[in-house]
Amino acid sequence: MLYETPMSASTPPTASIEDPALVRLLELFRDRDAVDYATLVQQAGVPPRTLDRQLSALLADDLLFRWARGVYSRRPVEPELNSEGEELLMLLRDSDADAHLTGFDVLAPYAHQFVYSYYTHLVYCHPSHVSGLASELSAEDWLLLPAGRHVHLGGPHERMVIVRGQTHDERRYPVRGHLALPEKAWVDLLREVRRSQLGLDYGELGRILRSMERAGVPIDRVRTYARSVGYLAWVDAALGKRSPTNVEQNQLAAGYAA
């Protein structure tokens, strides 16, 4: 049974990841999407009031997120899509195409600056379904942009989407329902910023990656997926695991380190 004791009404203390007690508490979330309060009481080894203070501090610093009553996670709750993203996701759910929404729609909760009035949505789709899905999108007045080519539109536009073919492989590609997980969405967005020249700053991509890591997104899974699509060197350059080899990788690393 899930339950939660009341948190203190006072302002929660600020958490420090260097606090050994908080580090031990965060370790309970390793390799778990979410942990309920009853499990934390059993495994934390501290009195409930102490646990409540620790949870309050971690929640205040966005090191933990409350998914539901008495359920916590290192990941934010499912992203709150904007109206266009919600419409796209509903279309994908109703479509027969094997496709999912990825890119900035998934990553918006991790962004440091959400200043884009309009941005290009990304949909990855089984190659054999791309043509049919493109027709469905066009019928709903979406502006389809060719993947891998920069198109000058003369200013921002609404309802822009790139559809890229990608063979379905549940084991390699982390997708939940019709929505990519953050570790996939980040690599997909990097890929399209580079290949389709989307108007997103590489430094902001690096900052998003850092925010994802602080929120508990498993960076090893980012690296695993990046390896499968040929972008491991870019991720490792951002993480400081290897020296950048171009200006864009330098910008990624600077954003991550900021």
pLDDT one-digit tens code per residue, 173-193: 778 878 999 999 999 999 999
pLDDT confidence tier of residue 150, bands split at 50, 70 and 90: low
pLDDT digits (tens, 9 = 90+) for 215-256: 778 899 999 999 999 999 999 999 999 999 999 999 999 999
| pLDDT at residue number 243 | 97
Distance CA 102, CA 100 (A): 6
| pLDDT at residue number 126 | 92
Distance CA 181, CA 214 (A): 16
pLDDT confidence tier of residue 170, bands split at 50, 70 and 90: low
Q: Which of 124, 105, 32 is nearest to 72 (CA)?
A: 32
Which of 167 and 157 is assigned the larger pLDDT?
Answer: 167
Write down the mean pLDDT value for the chain: 84
Q: Pick the most confident of 1-10, 14-23, 140-149.
A: 140-149
Stretch 83-102: mean pLDDT: 93
Residue linked to tokens 């009195």: 47
Where is average pLDDT lowest: 16-30, 110-124, 159-173, 186-200?
Answer: 110-124
Range list for CATH 1.10.10.10 in the chain: 20-73
* Whole-prediction pTM: 0.72
Residue ranges of alpha helices (H) inside the chain are: 20-27, 37-44, 48-60, 83-94, 104-107, 130-139, 182-195, 202-214, 219-228, 232-239, 247-257
Residue 8 has pLDDT above 50, yes or no: no
**What 3-state DSSP class applies to 33?**
coil
Which of 168 and 8 is assigned the larger pLDDT?
Answer: 168
**What 3-state DSSP class applies to 64?**
coil
pLDDT digits (tens, 9 = 90+) for 34-91: 788 999 999 999 999 999 999 998 988 888 888 767 888 887 766 778 889 999 999 9
Architecture, CATH, for domain 20-73: Orthogonal Bundle (1.10)
* E-assigned strand segments in 74-183: 99-102, 121-125, 143-145, 160-165, 175-176, 179-180
| pLDDT at residue number 237 | 98
| pLDDT at residue number 4 | 33
pLDDT confidence tier of residue 29, bands split at 50, 70 and 90: confident
pLDDT confidence tier of residue 114, bands split at 50, 70 and 90: low
